[in-house]
Structure 1
Amino acid sequence: MDKKLRIAGIIAALSFSIFYLTFSSNSLPIPEPLSPVPENNSVDILAENLDEPRSIAISDDRIFVTEKDGLIRVIQNNTLLDEPLAALRPAKVFDGGLLGIALHPDFSNNHLIYVFLTYEENGELWNKILQITESENKLVDAKTIFDKIPGSVFTNGGFLKFGPDKKLYVGTGTVSESSHMPQNLDSLSGKILRLNDDGTIPTDNPFPNSSIYSLGHRNPQGMTWDDKGQMYLSELGPEKNDEINLIKPGKNYGWPEQQCSGNGKYENAIMCYDPSIEPGGILYYSGDKISLEADFVMASLRATNLYQLDFSEGLSSQKTILSGVGRIRDVVQSPDGSLYVITSNTDGKGFPDSMDDKLLRIKK
Structure 2
Amino acid sequence: MDKKISIAVVIVAVAFSVYTLTLPSDPIPLPEPNFNSRNDSVEILAENLDKPRSIAVSENRIFVTEKDGSIIVVENDVQLESPLVTLRSADVFDGGLLGIALHPNFVENHYIYVFLTYEENDTLWNKILRITESKNKLQDAETIFDKIPGSSFTNGGFIKFGPDNKLYVGTGATSDSSHLPQDLDSLSGKILRINDDGSIPEDNPFSNSPVYSLGHRNPQGMTWDDDGNLYVAEFGPEKNDEINLILAGKNYGWPEQECSGNENFENAVLCYDPSIEPGGILFYSGDKFDFEFPFIMASMRASNVSVGVIE
TM, length-normalised to structure 1: 0.78
Runs of at least 5 residues in structure 2 that lack an aligned partner in the other structure: 8-14
Does residue 93 in structure 1 map to residue 89 in structure 2? no
Aligned to 2:29: 29
Counterpart in 2 of 1:356? none
Report what 2:152 is aligned to: 153
Cα displacement (A) at 1:23: 4.2
Matched, 1:208 2:195: no
* Partner AA of 1:92 in structure 2: D
CA deviation vs aligned residue, 1:157-208 (integer Å, no higher than 9, x gap):
0000000000000000000000010000000000000000000000000000
Distance in 2 between residues matched to 1:268 and 1:309, nearest whole Å: 21
Q: Which sections of structure 1, spanning at least 5 residues, go unmatched?
A: 5-11, 313-364
Q: Does 1:274 align with 2:273?
A: yes
Give the structure 2 partner of residue 289 of structure 1: 288
- Contact 1:146 1:199 (C-alpha < 8 Å) held by counterparts: yes
- Alignment check: 8 A CA contact 1:116 1:128 kept: yes
Aligned to 1:123: 122
CA contact (8 A) 1:171 1:220 kept: yes
Say whether the 8 Å CA contact 2:169–2:192 is kept in structure 1: yes
Mapped partners of 1:203, 1:306: distance in 2: 41
CA contact (8 A) 1:21 1:28 kept: no
Mapped partners of 1:21, 1:60: distance in 2? 31
Query: Would the aligned equivalents of 2:33 and 2:303 in 1 still touch at CA under 8 Å?
Result: no
Letter in 2 for 1:292: F
Q: 1:31, CA displacement in angstroms?
A: 2.1
In 1, the alpha carbon distance for the partners of 2:305 and 2:65 equals 20
- Any conservation in 2 of the 1:23–1:260 contact (CA below 8 Å)? no
2: CA distance, partners of 1:293 / 1:223: 21
Distance 1:187 1:87 in 2: 29
* 1:43-82 equivalent positions in 2, closer than 5 A: 43-82=42-81
Mapped to 2, the partners of 1:74 and 1:55 lie a distance apart of: 12
SS at 1:182 equivalent: helix
Q: What are the equivalent positions in structure 2 for 1:11-22 lying under 5 Å apart?
A: 22=22
Shift of 1:30: 2.1
Query: Which amino acid letter does the alignment assign opposite residue 119 of structure 2?
Result: E
The two structures, once aligned, show a CA RMSD in angstroms of 2.2
Q: Contact conserved, 2:26 with 2:271, CA < 8 A, in 1? A: no
- In structure 2, the partner of 1:258 is 257
Change in Cα spacing, 1:140 to 1:211, as seen in structure 2 (3 Å) is same
Q: State whether residues 129 and 145 of structure 1, in contact with CA within 8 Å, keep that contact through their aligned partners in structure 2.
A: yes
The answer to whether the 8 A contact 1:194-1:205 is kept is: yes
TM-score (norm 2): 0.91
Please state which structure has a larger fraction of its residues in strand. 1
C-alpha distance in 1 between matches for 2:186 and 2:39: 48
Q: What secondary structure sits across from 1:263 in the alignment?
A: coil
Q: Identify the residue that residue 103 of structure 2 maps to in structure 1.
A: 104
Q: Secondary structure at the match of 2:141?
A: strand
Q: How many residues align?
A: 300
Aligned to 2:218: 219
1:121 and 1:308, CA in 2 relative to 1: closer, same or farther beyond 3 A? farther
Q: 1:58 to 1:271 in 2, by over 3 A?
A: same
1:233 aligns to what? 232
Q: 1:301 to 1:35 in 2, by over 3 A?
A: closer
Q: 1:69 and 1:103, CA in 2 relative to 1: closer, same or farther beyond 3 A?
A: same
